[in-house]
Amino acid sequence: MDRAAWLAVLRRLAEPVLVHLAAGRLKQVMPVEAAAQAADDRAQYTHLEAFGRLMMGIAPWLEAPLPPGEEAVEQQRMVSLAQQALRMATDPQSPDCLNFNRGQQCLVDAAFLAQAIVRAPRVLWEDLPEGTRAHLLEALRSTRAIRPFFNNWLLFSGMIEAALCRMGVEWDQMRVDYAVRQMDQWYKGDGAYGDGVDFHWDYYNSFVIHPMMLDILSVVNQYRPAFESFYVTRTSQGWHELYEKEVLRAQRYAEVQERLIGPDGSFPPLGRSLAYRFGAFHLLAQMALLRKLPASLPPPQVRSALSAVIRRVMAAPGTFDENGWLTIGFCGHQPSIGEYYISTGSLYLCSAALLPLGLPPEDDFWQGAPQDWTARKAWSGQDLAADHAL
């Protein structure tokens, strides 16, 4: 499965969301599939979910420098749609002005949108018209009224503030500092964090925790390291030390993730939020994008493994409805797998697996010859190195 095939998946995911939101008709057109008892509640959040999560995954590709050609032309079309969608999503006069501050769920998806801005600051911030920038700022700042739960949600508040830092505007440094230091206290070992005090056997270390820790700490280290002088003592670690430690933990978790991918591209249906499908490999994809894969994972091997997962999921009948919208499910349409907080918009977190499209086409990730991943080696009798904990 080469770059062209990944791009086809990106287009299939992005087209309905961006085209309709850019035209101001997302609320009118997008279906809201959800558990019957939660449908009315989720309808107030689902549109921002779809937009924020999609943008988080495709942002690096929108920002990537591309050689002239068909892909560059398609990229510019998608950039235009995304920028117009941002205008519609944040303009109070827009028919598709999205909910950023009513209820709690909108904190989550404002954070995914903020993460997209961090990953594509030029096209999603610097190149925006002044009016759109003002509305976007107001939308992000308005989420400060929402109190995060005492678990991975702390990172949502921290991610929004880190984006504001990257955007060059006033930001709340303490929300960032509290989030990353509290997560550090919840580290359980061997690359895994607790989701709060408790450890959960699910994919949230990849859906949220590692990716946001990496992005938050990268931003604040680059743009405001002087803040550390107020808080770092001889007995505490600064943001730079936390970032270096987080990279090592994320590399170990990436190794674990790659080993979860079966010879046929399947992976364990373990834990909550399985309707995010191949978004479960957000962290593995991010480490490839950042060129921070551990030495045990050559980029072409990771491309081959992720391609197998994406192919397996996309081929499942019922993954999309007749109008091209994702349906609730893990492999096909399986509505009972959706928890009360899952709705149509939630499902677009799967775009996170497409992060390596932000690497240039000539990168070794794309150009290297296909390689068997760990499970294919193991189950075909090939020799392979022993696995060890961090």
| Tens-place pLDDT, residues 355-365 | 999 999 999 99
Contact 254, 287 (CB under 8 A): yes
16 φψ region: left (φ > 0), alpha (ψ -120 to 50), beta (else): alpha
User: Is residue 167 over pLDDT 60?
Assistant: yes
108 belongs to a structural domain: yes
390 belongs to a structural domain: no
User: Is residue 48 over pLDDT 70?
Assistant: yes
CB atoms within 10 A of CB 80: 13
Question: The whole model's pTM is what?
Answer: 0.96
21 belongs to a structural domain: yes
User: Is residue 223 over pLDDT 90?
Assistant: no
pLDDT for res 36: 85
The Cα 306–Cα 290 span in angstroms is 16
Structural domain boundaries, residue 131: 3-379
347 belongs to a structural domain: yes
Count of domains for the chain: 1
The pLDDT tens digits for 174-207 are 999 999 999 999 999 999 999 999 999 999 999 9
385 belongs to a structural domain: no
The CATH code of the domain that includes 46 is 1.50.10
Per-residue pLDDT, averaged over 232-240, amounts to 65
234 belongs to a structural domain: yes
Contact 332, 36 (CB under 8 A): no
Contact 325, 30 (CB under 8 A): yes
CB atoms within 10 A of CB 315: 11
pLDDT for res 224: 67
The pLDDT tens digits for 288-321 are 999 999 999 999 999 999 999 999 999 999 999 9
388 belongs to a structural domain: no
User: Is residue 236 over pLDDT 70?
Assistant: no
- Comparing CA positions, the residue from 90, 114, 120 lying closest to residue 162 is 114
User: Is residue 227 over pLDDT 90?
Assistant: no
User: Is residue 135 over pLDDT 50?
Assistant: yes
State the pLDDT confidence band at 1, using cuts at 50, 70 and 90.
Answer: low
Quote the distance between the C-alpha of residue 236 and its chain's center: 30
387 belongs to a structural domain: no
User: Is residue 2 over pLDDT 80?
Assistant: yes
